[in-house]
Amino acid sequence: MNLVVNGDAESGPGGTAEPVATVTGWRVAQGAPALVAYGLAGGYPTASDPGPARRGSRFFSGGDSPRTALLQDVTLPATGATGHAAVDAGRVRYAVTAWLGGYAGQEDGARLSVEFRDTKGTPLALSVLGPVTAAERHGRTALVERTAGAAVPPGARTARVLLVLTRTGGGTSNDGYADGISLTLTATGGPL
C-alpha cells in the first residue's frame, strides 16, 4: 500500500498550468505548484511522452515559482507485519519510487527525498531521488522512473516526504515535473 497521499496529483484543484494554493495531502512549503493535465498546450508532457505506463490525467509541476516545495509527513504503521516492533527488529524494508522529469533540453528538474525520523523528529535515514537531467531524458520532454530502498531504520516512526521542483533556466515556468510518487513498506524475515 502506498503511504503517500495524492502522490499522483489526481486529487484537488488543478488541471491547468495555473498555480494552486493547496494540494490535497501535501503542505505547500515554498512557491506555488501546478497540477497540470497531460497534453495541456504549451509543451507539457502528453500521454505518449515517456512517463508512467499507468498514469492518471495530471502530474506535478513547479508552476511559475523558481523553487516549489511540497511536504508530507507520513506516520508509519504502529502494528502489523510492518509495525513498530518489526521496524525495531530490522524486519521492514521500504521502497520509494517517483517519476521525475522536465521539459525538452531545459535543466528544470524535480527531486524527491524521504527522511525517516524517530518520535522526537530526529532524522535517522535519508533517500534522495533525482533530479533527472536533460541528458538523461535524451533532450525530450519526459518523466523517468527513479527508485530507492533499504531497511527502515530501527526507531523510525514517521517519514518526511519532500518534493522540490526547481527552475534553473530562463522563462517564467518551472518545468520540474513529477508523478507516481510512492512509499511502500514490506515485511522481511519470519515472525517476531
4 falls within a domain: no
19 falls within a domain: no
Count the domains in the chain: 1
Dihedral, CA of residue 129, residue 165, residue 56 and residue 171, to nearest 10: -140
For residue 63, the model assigns a pLDDT of: 96
15 falls within a domain: no
Could you tell me the CATH number of the domain that includes residue 114?
Answer: 2.60.120.260
Average pLDDT over residues 63-73: 97
The domain of 64 spans 27-186
Residue keyed to cell 527513479:
146
1 falls within a domain: no
pLDDT at 191 exceeding the cut of 90: no
86 falls within a domain: yes
9 falls within a domain: no
Return the bridge partners of 69, or none: 30, 164
Q: What's the pTM value of the predicted model, to 2 decimals?
A: 0.96
Do 130 and 109 contact (CB within 8 A), yes or no? Answer: yes
Average pLDDT over residues 74-78: 97
